[in-house]
Amino acid sequence: MTGRIGVVTFPGSLDDRDAIRAVELMGGEGVPLWHAEPDLKKVDGVILPGGFSYGDYLRCGAIARFATVMDAIRGFAERGGPVLGICNGFQILCESGLLPGALIRNRSLRFVCKEVFLRVETTATPVTADVLPGEVLRMPIKHGEGQYVASEGDLDRLEGDGRVVFRYCGPDGEVDDVHNPNGALRGIAGVRNEDGNVVGLMPHPEHAVDPDVGPTGGQALFASLLSQAMAGVP
């Protein structure tokens, strides 16, 4: 049996096809899901891909959160189903309240497109369960609004509960301002919900699975997602 991972297409999604391709390169079955349909097609996990859903109007992810498919995804997440939001997908999960915090304009005010290093901070998520804690993964970022913010109190709680999943870092895992590409508070690149089954990150693991075209830091995350999705079908 192969893990079936649904990938949602919103109006303005860009990376849906890359996400499906990444799932399939890693041995799973990618299932296209449509924003206007409530049917999740019995998938074992869901990916909200990157892009500019609804033109990023009002705020990134603000309008996509009300799409028909999001009700089904909320129910799927509440039953413990793995949900991964990448870039715009992360913004949508924050806007929908499934993840804490928010993403605002990069500190530099510029769109940033480059490869970064990420340090894995917790293995208590479906995408990092099979990764070593502290492991450094290389993958690209490409966003204008990726600066993660939350109140100091919320940040302390997130840290205390082990809900920071990824931090921007240097090649040896050093977390410092130099390696923070967007001004994210405490270098946070990705977080998880309380139960750990909903994860969002700004960097793009789906663009980092094929050694012919770049780094392969995304492989471990997809491999982990596939094995976890198969282990605990909600």
Supply 82's token pair: 């793995």
Supply φ then ψ for residue 9, to 5 degrees.
Answer: -110, 120
Question: Counting contacts by CB under 8 A, is residue 101 touching other proteins?
Answer: yes
- Residues 115 and 214: beta-carbon distance below 8 Å: yes
Nearest alpha carbon to residue 85 among 104, 68, 61: 61
Query: How many Å from the N-terminal Cα to the C-terminal Cα in the chain?
Result: 16
| Residues belonging to the active site | 87, 204, 206
What is the signed CA dihedral for 25, 18, 165, 146, rounded to 10 degrees? 160
CB of residue 186 to other proteins, shortest distance in Å: 13
Q: How many helices (H) and strands (E) does the chain have?
A: 5, 11
Question: Counting contacts by CB under 8 A, is residue 106 touching other proteins?
Answer: yes
CB of residue 100 to other proteins, shortest distance in Å: 8
CB of residue 65 to other proteins, shortest distance in Å: 9
The residue (of 188 and 221) whose beta carbon lies closer to other proteins is: 188
Distance, in Å, from the CA atom of 193 to the CA atom of 219, rounded to the nearest integer, reads 22
What is the signed CA dihedral for 201, 204, 205, 208, rounded to 10 degrees? -160
Question: Counting contacts by CB under 8 A, is residue 104 touching other proteins?
Answer: yes
Question: Counting contacts by CB under 8 A, is residue 150 touching other proteins?
Answer: yes
Residues in region 24-83 near other proteins by CB under 8 A: 58-59, 62-63, 66
Residues contacting residue 231 through CB under 8 Å, at least 6 positions apart: none
Question: Counting contacts by CB under 8 A, is residue 107 touching other proteins?
Answer: yes
DSSP label at 100?
A: S
Question: Counting contacts by CB under 8 A, is residue 109 touching other proteins?
Answer: yes
The residue (of 2 and 151) whose beta carbon lies closer to other proteins is: 151
Contact pattern for other proteins over residues 173 through 202, marking x by CB under 8 A: ----------x-------------------
CB of residue 92 to other proteins, shortest distance in Å: 12
CB of residue 151 to other proteins, shortest distance in Å: 8
* Interface residue list for other proteins (CB under 8 A): 58-59, 62-63, 66, 94-95, 100-102, 104-109, 147, 149-150, 183
